[in-house]
Structure 1
Amino acid sequence: MTRASTSPWPRLLVGGRRAVFGALVVVGLVSSALAVVAAIGVGQALAAGGPPGVAMTAGLLLAFGGIAAARYAERVLGERLGQSFVMDLRRGLVRSMLRPDRRGSLGVLVTRTSNDLAAVRMWIAQGIAPLVTATPLVVGATVFLLVLDARLGGVVAGLLALTGCAVVVIAGAILARARAVRTLRGRLAALVADSARAAPSVAAGGGIEREVARVGRAGELVMSASIHRASAVGAMRALVLAAASAATISVVVVGTGVGLELATIGSALTLTGLLATPLADLGRSVEYRQNFRAARRMIEPALAEEAAAIEGSAPTADGADGADTADDGPVVEVAVGGRTVRWPPRTRVRLDPHEDGALLDVLVDAASGAGRRDAVRIGGDPIAAMSERRRRRLVGAGRSGWLIERGPLARAVTYRRPRLPAESAEAMLRRLGLDPDGLPDGIRTRLREGGAPLTAAQRSIVLAARAMLDEPPLLILDGMLEVLPDDAAGALLDTLRAYPGVVVLGTRRSEAELRW
């Protein structure tokens, strides 16, 4: 799990996870020692030829109780290790998903953050953890059997070696089939997400049943691939179970065949019995490992894109604005058609979405931290290279049709300036013509599903209020006037006329209609 520093994949053994991993190693060593103690105790009890004494019985109960406690600790520690690692991965995936220049279907991204992360967690929690704890037990038991009787130990060691060779062969098939399942599952998720987003046009075209059939065909491919994978997984589990059973039978056959004492056979049977569970865990570990490798193949490109974007952006440090300023604020520079346009404060720029759509996209992308690095500058510094904190202080942008994140209305308005009080959000909404008192819970109304229960016009007011809050030096609004009712559009224009910074307004209205 530990990769070179250039890999986008996070390291497993960092921070508090080192201590958890160390605790797992201790649990494995303790369980191995307790298994040997239990085997010796059973042998001594059988050699005594009578009922074991109180001390012997208590010792055996303590040994087996300790093994059970170690099993409990392994599960808890493994889950803690897996959840901690997946939390780091989830942050990277969500960060990648929220980038404005991300590629890929939303359905695929949701699958990455659910099914594929579950495979990663399973590998760490129920793959790596049992490997760490079971390996000392298997090695210790085999060594003890060799010491107890070389013939018994040799037979068991040989069975384990043969099982390991067979596992390597089956593991390749599991990996190939797991990759096929995840590829098909991602395609199915993308198809379902795209069909759901296109629901109105699908219904209008009379294609609901066709889409259902299309999703059904994709689902059948996933089902077939999953069953195909299950056959390889089943073979793996059957092989490991057979190996554990064969080890027990071999101890009985070899032990009685060569005339070993009952106490020796009893000790060996105790150990092989205790080996059954860790052997099954090791078999499942191989399965989880292959599922993890298939999931990693899906997750890593998204992490690589995020790492490349972060490296390419190289945010400038927070601090004073650049030197290119006028008396009343920073100057905005935009590279257009091989030349640079300078907009001092209070400049009003009208852009027609049909004629100037490309320039609008450049400005909005820069406000989102995407696009060409030096396309837009404010105060002499490129917007796309700024840290999020500095960029949101200097630039406000809103575009009609944007969805709003889930949460209270006050949070949606103060999203750019999260430290401002809810009263600031309420005042800005009223200024733009939206009275929060008319909503179910006022300024505390919880928005969901992109902005419900707000109407399209109300969502545009919220986006405009967010962009204008605290009066950033550069304000970019696109398509707002076209979706607002006349009174709200008039309130917005009145506010823009008195705005102290640079205003870029994407609208089909003429300069004469704007009167600014």
Structure 2
Amino acid sequence: MSKMQVALPPLLAGKRRILLAGLLSLGIIAGLISIIISWLIGQLTTTVSSTMLGAVVGLILGFFAATYAQRVLAEKLGQHYVAQLRRGLISHALRSARGPSAGITIARSTNDLSSIRNWIVQGMVPLVAGAPLLVLSGVGLWMLHPLLAGSLGVTLVLEVVFLLALAPGTFGSARRLRKNRGYLAARISDTVAARTAISAGGGIDREVSRVQDSSQKVIDSSVQRARFAGALRASALAVPLLGTALMVGAASLLGLESSAVATALTLIGICAGALGEWGKAVEYRQNYKAGRRIIAPLLQQEEQWRKADEQSLSTRDAKELLGQRAVVRIQLPYHTDALGLPPYPVLRVQPGERIALQGNNWQRAALLESIATGNLDQCGDPNAGVWIAEGRSEDLPPSQRRKLVGSALEAMVPERGTLARALRYRHPGASLTKALKLAEECGLDLTQLPERDQTRLRRGGKPLERSQQAALLVARALLREPPVLVIDELLTRLPHSAYPGVVQRVNNYPGVVIYAGDLPGINPTSSWQAAQLPASHQR
């Protein structure tokens, strides 16, 4: 994979440029203060006065303030950047036709983003702010004597050699740890999701043992990474001690006055603090590279999809298409493997038709989900998608496409928020009164909810029961009768009293209905099945 392929969005952009400039300025100010403090401390060896002591204390407070401000600005910089990355990651997970598990998504949006944030806040920023400090300290030592500056130079070279030698191992251990953490998060997520089946099958101890096996891999890889991290930080602390010894030896060899020695030791002490951050910086850098390797390709793909959404290629708009009942054509991409779909042929249907989708359960579920979410164009095939009146719905912005395709599928759960918001999710501007009436016809019982349409839904639709969730999703799909309606076995979860009415509405639906599963009462006008078994209406 090339460097361009793994590049993250630029850090130097917008508001972050100002933050970085502020950090560099604070580093220069801290460096200048350190030189003045060191000189004053050297003078204290010969002359002590309240004025000089007050100046030293004031400068130390200024050094404290500059360091404090660096930390705050660094956190603002890191959080601002991570928020941008998190938005892209969540957007990618929602857009992707074959999205990651909840555990993997959580791991990416926490562990991987934390590694990037740590590199910016505790790795890159100390380097950016510490570089002026080291340079100015070197200048101060040179002014005392070039040999003293040479001692600092030797210390820096030794530290760089140690860090470069340990960096590859740190990167490898960070990658292994991140991989094992992802596996553990996915296993825990899948295990908790299957808790009822596990408990009924008497497999709690067995599944806990499997989680522990994955956990042990995380433990082992964590310890391995700690070995490299310990070596990095030990070198960052030990090498400055060697630098101090070199400084004292050089001062003794040169026969410098006590004031010069005090100044030199103060400067090397300040530099030791900056060098102490280098070990952590290298560790954070390798963790960052491991996280970038995972996140960057996803963000690049998300950026491509976002740009495609912004470039509307269709000459029609949703409002125009909603005003007529036109021929619907559905075409899968040439290469369907990327979406996990079988090679279904092109489908052409007239308004009022009901198409029964044939195939095994996973094929039907994958195809219906791709039609509903608009993912048929993700493979780059310009002919793939849901075409209505010769306009491709995927070329419209999501806020317009949602008006053309209504869907109620088993894989769906209501979003977090109020019931009224979930009901009008496709049409936020629809009349709430009409939407609630349609929902009641689909079996939604508002009398069981004290707050009625303002009931807060969470955790996949709670407190609604499964039949009530189905009623909500079916009503949302039917709201304002979109040209294309996509449904599956979710309809069988409707309350028994509401199911006949919904079936009658589907059989008389003015648009195109594409459905899968055994839905009693629905009369298909045709079927759509894989290419090796041609059906009517297939080209």
**TM-score normalised by L of structure 1:** 0.90
SS at match of 1:504: strand
Answer yes or no: is 1:238 the counterpart of 2:234.
yes
Residues of 2 paired with 1:183 and 1:234: CA distance? 21
Residue 370 of structure 1, CA deviation: 0.8
Q: Distance in 1 between matches of 2:86 and 2:361?
A: 38
In the alignment, what sits opposite 1:444? 454
- Please tell me whether residue 349 in structure 1 is matched to residue 345 in structure 2: no
Shift of 1:323: 12
| Alignment RMSD | 2.8
Q: 1:79 aligned to 66, 75, 82, which one?
A: 75
Q: Aligned partners of 1:339 and 1:236: how far apart in 2?
A: 60
Query: Retained in 2: the 8 A contact 1:119–1:288?
Result: yes
Q: Which residue of 2 aligns with 1:457?
A: 467
Cα distance, 1:234–1:32 mapped onto 2, change above 3 Å: same
Partner letter of residue 393 of structure 1?
K
Amino acid at match of 2:481: E
Looking at structure 1, the residues matched to 299 and 112 of structure 2 have their Cα atoms a distance apart, in angstroms, of: 13
- Report the equivalent of 2:374: 369
CA distance in structure 2 between the aligned counterparts of 1:286 and 1:121, rounded to whole angstroms: 14
> Aligned equivalents of 1:421 and 1:444: distance in 2?
15
Partner Cα distance (1:248, 1:507) in 2: 77
The answer for the alignment partner of 1:392 in structure 2 is 402
> Distance in 2 between the 1:215 and 1:357 partners?
27
What does 1:108-147 correspond to in 2, within 5 Å? 108-147=104-143
Residue of structure 2 in register with 1:170 after alignment: 166
Aligned to 1:491: 501
CA distances 1:469-499 after superposition (whole Å, capped 9, x unpaired) = 2332222222233222321112323544665
Counterpart of 2:429 (choices 419, 428, 432) is: 419
1:135–1:421: structure 2 CA closer, same or farther, 3 Å change rule? farther
1:299–1:343: structure 2 CA closer, same or farther, 3 Å change rule? same
Question: Is residue 2:292 matched to residue 1:296?
Answer: yes
Following superposition, the deviation at residue 153 of structure 1 comes to 1.7
Match of 1:383 in 2: 393
Q: Deviations over 1:31-77 (max 9, x none)?
A: 1111111112222332xx232242x2232222211111111111011
Q: In 2, distance between residues paired with 1:164 and 1:339?
A: 62
| Contact 2:6-2:297 at 8 Å conserved across structures | no
Tell me the CA shift for residue 364 of structure 1: 3.9
> SS of the residue aligned with 1:393?
coil
**Measured at CA, do residues 116 and 328 of structure 1 come closer, stay the same or move farther in structure 2, by a change above 3 Å?**
closer
Structure 1 unmatched runs, 5+: none
Aligned partners of 1:107 and 1:191 also within 8 Å: yes
In the alignment, which residue of structure 1 is the partner of 2:341?
none
Amino acid at match of 1:45: L
Q: Does 1:504 align with 2:514?
A: yes
Counterpart of 1:486 in 2: which secondary structure? coil
Corresponding position: 1:29 with 2:28 = yes
Q: For residue 348 of structure 2, give the secondary structure of its aligned residue in structure 1.
A: strand
Counterparts of 1:94-113 in structure 2 under 5 Å? 94-113=90-109
Matched, 1:466 2:479: no
Worse-superposed segment, 465-474 or 181-190: 465-474
Aligned partner of 1:280 among 276, 284, 291: 276
2:393 is matched by which residue type in structure 1? I
- With over 3 angstroms needed to count, the CA separation of the structure-2 counterparts of 1:213 and 1:14, relative to structure 1, is same
String of CA shifts for 1:71-119, please: whole Å, max 9, x gaps: 1111011111111111111011101111251344331221011111001
Give 1:197's aligned residue: 193
| 2:154–2:243 Cα contact (<8 Å) kept | no
Q: Which moved more, 1:484-493 or 1:179-188?
A: 484-493
**Alpha-carbon distance in structure 1 between the residues aligned to 2:99 and 2:516:** 26
TM-score, normalised on structure 2?
Answer: 0.86
Alignment of 1:227 onto 2:237: no
> Quick one: structure 1 residues 355 and 302, their matched pair in 2 at CA, closer, same or farther if it must change by over 3 Å?
closer
Give 1:290's aligned amino acid.
Q
- Paired residue total: 507
Aligned CA distance change for structure 1 residues 314 and 51 (closer, same or farther; 3 Å): closer
Give, in angstroms, the shift of residue 314 of structure 1.
Answer: 7.2
* Counterpart contact for 1:12–1:85, Cα < 8 Å: yes
8 Å CA contact retained: 2:314, 2:395: no
1:434 to 444, 465, 477: 444
| Corresponding letter in the other structure for 1:50 | T
Q: Secondary structure at the match of 2:493?
A: coil
Distance change in 2, residues 1:355/1:140 (3 Å): closer
Deviation at 1:212, TM superposition (A): 0.9
Q: In the alignment, what sits opposite 2:11?
A: 12
Helix, strand or coil: the match of 1:365? helix
- Residues 66 and 112 of structure 1: CA distance in aligned 2, closer, same or farther (over 3 Å): same
SS at match of 1:482: helix
Deviation at 1:416, TM superposition (A): 1.2
Cα deviations by residue, 1:320-347 (Å, 9 ceiling, x for unpaired): 4389979843332234965542313xx0
Aligned to 2:486, the other structure's residue is in SS state strand
**How far apart in 1 are the matches of 2:367 and 2:523?**
25
Give, in whole Å, the separation in 2 of the partners of 1:440 and 1:319: 47
Q: Post-superposition shift, 1:277?
A: 1.9
State the partner residue of 1:52.
49
For 2:441 and 2:314, locate their aligned partners in 1 and report how far apart those are by CA, in whole Å. 31
How far does residue 169 in structure 1 lie from its aligned partner after superposition? 0.6
Q: CA deviation at 1:411?
A: 1.5
What secondary structure does 1:450 align onto? coil
Q: Does the C-alpha gap of structure 1 residues 281 and 115 become closer, same or farther in structure 2, counting only changes over 3 Å?
A: same
The separation in 1 between residues aligned to 2:283 and 2:7, in whole angstroms, is 24
What residue number does 1:93 align with?
89
Counterpart for residue 206 of structure 1: 202
Post-superposition CA distance 1:333-381 (Å, at most 9, x none) = 234965542313xx04052666898567535412201125524211211
Deviations 1:384-404, CA, capped at 9 Å, x for gaps: 333211211211111134222
2:354 is paired with a residue of what secondary structure?
strand
